[in-house]
Each structure stands twice: as C-alpha cells, then as structure tokens.
Amino acid sequence: MSELGLCSRREADEWIAKGWVRVDGKVVSELGTKVYPSQKVTVERQAAAEQSKRVTILINKPMGYVSGQAEDGYKPAVTLIRPENRWSGDTSPEQFHPTQLKSLVPAGRLDIDSVGLLVLTQDGRIAKHLIGQDTEIDKEYLVRVQYTKPGKLPDADLKKLNHGLWMDGKPLLPAKVRWQNDDQLSFTLREGKKRQIRRMCEMVGLKVIGLKRVRIGRVKLGELPTGQWRYLNADERF
C-alpha cells in the first residue's frame, strides 16, 4: 500500500485493523498479508475522508529548537504550533484544533543550531515524498561561512562541494553550490545526511557561521517570520 502511494505504512496498519482495506473485493484484516501483482487493492471511502483531514504545517524554526522529540532539555519545534504563533499572513481556511498536533511529525530534520523551513505533517504520503529513499525533492539552504585558511576558497574546492566529496564511506550525490555573496553560499541538495552541509564545508576548510533552509521542492519559506507557522495550502505541491 505504501509502495502504491496510497498511504504510509503506519496508516496502512491502521486501515487494515479498521477493515478499510480490500484485496480483490475481500476485506483483509491480517497485517502482513501477501498481495500478488495481479491483485487489486482498494480502500474504503472512510480512509480517504480521514486522510483528507490530516494537516501539513510549515514552520520557520528558530535556533535552539530540535526538529523531533525533546532532547537534552531542548524543546521540539512542535511546541511552537499554538494559535498565537500562527502567521497573520496565512491564507489557508483551515481552523486550528489541538487534535492536529496528534501524530504530527517532522518530514526531514533541521539541526538545533540551524534555522528556516521545517515541515511537520500528519500525512504519511507527504513524509514519504519528502524523506523517502527515492525522493527527488531538492532542498535549498543559505549558508554563511568563514574560510579558515589564508586567501579565498579555491575554485577547485567549490567544484568539490558540487560533486566529488565522500561521506560515511559513500560518494555524495551531485549538489548545486554557488556563492550568493562574499561570505554566503547557496546549497541545493537532494539528500540529507546528518549535519551534511557542515561536514561538507569542513572538508574544504570552511566554517559554518549560520545555516538557513529556504526552500523544499516548490515550497518556499518566503516571508514566514521566525518562530511562526502556517498551513500548507491545498493548491501547494512540493
């Protein structure tokens, strides 16, 4: 069901338990049931109705907040999702309700000392779309840097940032890295290893002073103020 893009694995488990899934017209209630390529999987309308109620929230994460579970005394970004922090420029007709905080998980991480666009979603399809192994969604970051060696970063090292570096024993996918101004680079990546940009910079003698995510796919941070949030609109697509 997950591979067909119908839902996430967790949602599939819930739907099967509720009797909302059929294979060739017969209700399947046992998890892990084998389905052959020739068989047809369908879901009841209740499943689609429940899925349509699930929200996706965009937040401009400030420094000092973690993306997911609370750790080392730091608060998770989800604690910022309160009515008083909703951006006044949010055009979505969606009304806030505390039930929207249930099962709201980050679709991709931002380090505690990084800021910018963070996606929190109840929709497993969106989470898989953004962070699944085969994702084609790119992410753009503005990175303020300081060169730790004499002179300026050589062009050859800028080329290495674009393609040629290895991490954790594997070559990194090609990236788009270019200067925005004298001390700021734009990074566009299609993968997200832990602290990847900071580690890439270290490899060529750059120290990261500040890191901000400004875009995920076609969705931009835009004018969303730091510490505030808005709903993903129905007509927006990553």
Using CA atoms, how far residue 100 sits from 19, 81, 153, in Å, is: 24, 10, 46
Instruction: Identify whether 196 is part of a domain.
Output: yes
Residue 118's pLDDT is: 97
Q: Are residues 84 and 109 in the same domain?
A: yes
Percent of the chain with pLDDT over 70: 97
Domains of the chain: total: 3
Count the alpha carbons within 13 Å of 98 in the hemisphere toward its beta carbon: 0
Assess whether pLDDT exceeds 90 at residue 230: yes
Q: What's the rounded Cα separation, in Å, for the pair 77 and 61?
A: 7
Tens digit of pLDDT for each residue in 195-213?
Answer: 999 999 999 999 999 999 9
| Dist. CA 83–CA 191, nearest whole Å | 33
C-alpha distances out from residue 86 to 102, 111, 216, 230, Å: 17, 22, 20, 6
Q: The pTM is what?
A: 0.79
Angle, CA 226 vertex, CA 119 and CA 197 arms, to 5°: 60
Are residues 177 and 162 in contact, defined by beta-carbon separation less than 8 angstroms? yes
227 and 109, same structural domain?
A: yes
Using pLDDT thresholds of 50, 70 and 90, give the confidence band for residue 168.
very high
Whether 160 maps to a domain, the answer reads: yes
Residue 141: closest CA among 160, 122, 115, 170: 115
CATH code for the domain in which residue 152 is found: 3.30.2350.10
Residue 9 has pLDDT above 80, yes or no: no
Tell me the percentage of the chain whose pLDDT exceeds 90. 65
Q: Is the same domain home to 70 and 106?
A: yes
Q: Mean pLDDT of all residues in the chain?
A: 91
Tens of pLDDT along 50-98? 665 789 999 999 999 999 887 778 899 999 999 999 999 999 999 998 8
Claim to verify: residue 203 and residue 88 sit in the same structural domain: no
Question: Among all residues, which ones are annotated catalytic?
Answer: 111
Is 154 in the same domain as 211?
yes
Contact between 106 and 69 (Cβ < 8 Å)? no
Q: Based on the domain organization, do 58 and 125 belong to the same domain?
A: yes
Give per-residue pLDDT as tens, 92-133: 999 998 888 888 889 988 999 999 999 999 888 888 888 877
CA–CA separation, 211 vs 144, rounded Å?
Answer: 6
Contact 119, 107 (CB under 8 A): yes
Q: Is residue 170 part of a domain?
A: yes
Structural domain of residue 19, as residue ranges?
9-51
- Residues 184-197 have pLDDT tens digits of 999 999 988 889 99
Residue 1 forms part of a structural domain: no
As given in the structure block, the two tokens for residue 30 are 């046992």
Q: Is 125 helix (H, G, I), strand (E, B) or coil?
A: helix
179 belongs to a structural domain: yes
- 211 Cβ contact list (under 8 Å, min separation 6): 111, 113, 114, 115, 116, 141, 142, 143, 144, 197, 198
| d(C-alpha 129, C-alpha 172), whole Å | 20
Contact 154, 205 (CB under 8 A): no
Residue type, 12: A
